[in-house]
Amino acid sequence: MTAPPEVSGDGELFPALVVGLGQLGLSVLQQLRQSVQENFGSPSSLPNLGLLYLDTDPDGPTAATRPAQGAALAPSEVVLARLNRFIHYQKPREGRPRIDTWFNTNLLHRIPRNLTTDGLRSVARLAFIDNYRLIAGRLREDLESCLDPEALAAATKKTGLQVRSNRPRVYIVASLSGGTSSGMFIDLAYTSRSILKHLGYDQPQVIGVLLAPIPDPNSPKKALVNTVAGLMELNHFSTREVNFTARFDDREGTIVDPEAPLTRTIILSPSRDAEEESAAQEVATLAADFLFRDLTTPLGKVADQGRDLPPRCIATPWAYFEWPGPNDCSFVEPAGDIANILCNAGCPRTRRHSSPKFKAGWMTSGRKGTWIVSP
């Protein structure tokens, strides 16, 4: 396919699909939906914006459509990447690559009776590949809906906002500490990139909104292990010399991508003094607020313009701090702990810097994109 001619303007709107992974990703989607309803009256006011919730938890669809907090998602906005009993994976399946070529089959016996990942990243990846056709099909369907030229026109008419671009973006919201989200977000990013390329967009924009826990010796071990493993994997595939290669479906062949999985990455962490019970909700609210502002307010346009400037420190009115160079990443207190995680994960050239607006923070160089942590 060939993408339509690029259209750009001074407005706020563009085609976007926000994919939430796992329980925390769902919370972000529900709060984002709530903000859209409060500000524009109905989700239908923004037909250019799609929401998609992806999880392995069998209780996820119920939680999504009948939430205790936030706005409900429609059943059509939910995809269950269902896990199966171990015997299911021992049988050959048309189109699915043999799992014993990449997966430790001894872990199949660790899939619990309730068919959840139990915090295991590798089991989440197994669920992704087993449900790849369903997931890829829904991603493509939702992106095509967002890209309908009439969607942007209708959104402009209903909201009074103007068009920023007709180029699509995919936002992936994932908790680094969760088994499902940490185990799926890299494969999901490359799948999204592949679909956008097939739709004619040679430079796909896939943005990661990654939610990190507060490093605490008392935290569950799996949470910290998943966080470090997820960051190490992201850093690995963001290295210039590394190509991503995967065969999700024999009928589609092998996906080979030399680029980083995420065009830009935002890492959010709760404040250090947050109570354990409220930390997850705090960071989910922060992520939803960022997404709403990036998708529907002048802040998003200003931030885009800032990334095109020569590298320098800027501070937005929304109070996050960014280093917009193409190879620079910036962290502001209380993000020092996140930088420590990245150092341990092997990210190069980390050093401290200071800002007149904020306390000392951290900056680390990467391959591509900007890392942000809100103070």
92 CB-contact burial (10 Å; exposed 0-12 / middle 13-18 / buried 19+) = exposed
For residue 276, the model assigns a pLDDT of 67
Does 373 or 190 have the greater pLDDT score?
190
- The DSSP call for residue 210 is E
Angle 183-21-98 from CA coordinates, rounded to 5°:
40
**Would you say 30 and 69 are in contact if contact means Cβ atoms under 8 Å apart?**
yes
Share of the chain above pLDDT 90, in %: 49
- Alpha helix ranges (H) inside 104-164: 121-130, 132-146, 149-159
Mean pLDDT computed over 61-65: 91
Measure the CA–CA gap between 228 and 338, rounded to whole angstroms. Answer: 10
For residue 36, the model assigns a pLDDT of 95
Query: Residue 349 — very low, low, confident or very high, per pLDDT cuts 50/70/90?
Result: very low
Rounded to the nearest integer, the mean pLDDT of the chain is 80
b (16+ CB within 10 A) / e for 108-134: beebeeebbbebbbebbbbbbbbbbee
Q: Is the dihedral of CA 28, 326, 321, 9 positive or negative?
A: negative
Helix (H, G, I), strand (E, B) or coil at 228: helix
Domain ranges for the chain, please list them: 16-296, 302-367
Give the side-chain half-sphere CA count within 13 A for 50: 25
Does 327 or 188 have the greater pLDDT score?
188
Range scoring the smallest mean pLDDT among 18-22, 75-79, 313-317, 346-350: 313-317
Q: 16-296 is classed in which CATH architecture?
A: 3-Layer(aba) Sandwich (3.40)
For residue 170, the model assigns a pLDDT of 98
In this structure, what token pair is assigned to residue 77? 């906005």
Measure the CA–CA gap between 180 and 166, rounded to whole angstroms. Answer: 31
Measure the CA–CA gap between 182 and 38, rounded to whole angstroms. Answer: 31
Does 157 or 322 have the greater pLDDT score?
157
- What is the biggest distance separating any 2 CA atoms in the chain, rounded to whole angstroms? 61
For residue 110, the model assigns a pLDDT of 75
- Kindly report, residue by residue over 177-214, the tens digit of the pLDDT: 999 999 999 999 999 999 999 999 999 999 999 998 76
Query: Residue 220 — very low, low, confident or very high, per pLDDT cuts 50/70/90?
Result: low
Beta bridge partners of 351: 363
End-to-end C-alpha distance for the chain, whole angstroms: 42
Measure the CA–CA gap between 24 and 326, rounded to whole angstroms. Answer: 29
Measure the CA–CA gap between 350 and 341, rounded to whole angstroms. Answer: 11
**Would you say 21 and 181 are in contact if contact means Cβ atoms under 8 Å apart?**
yes
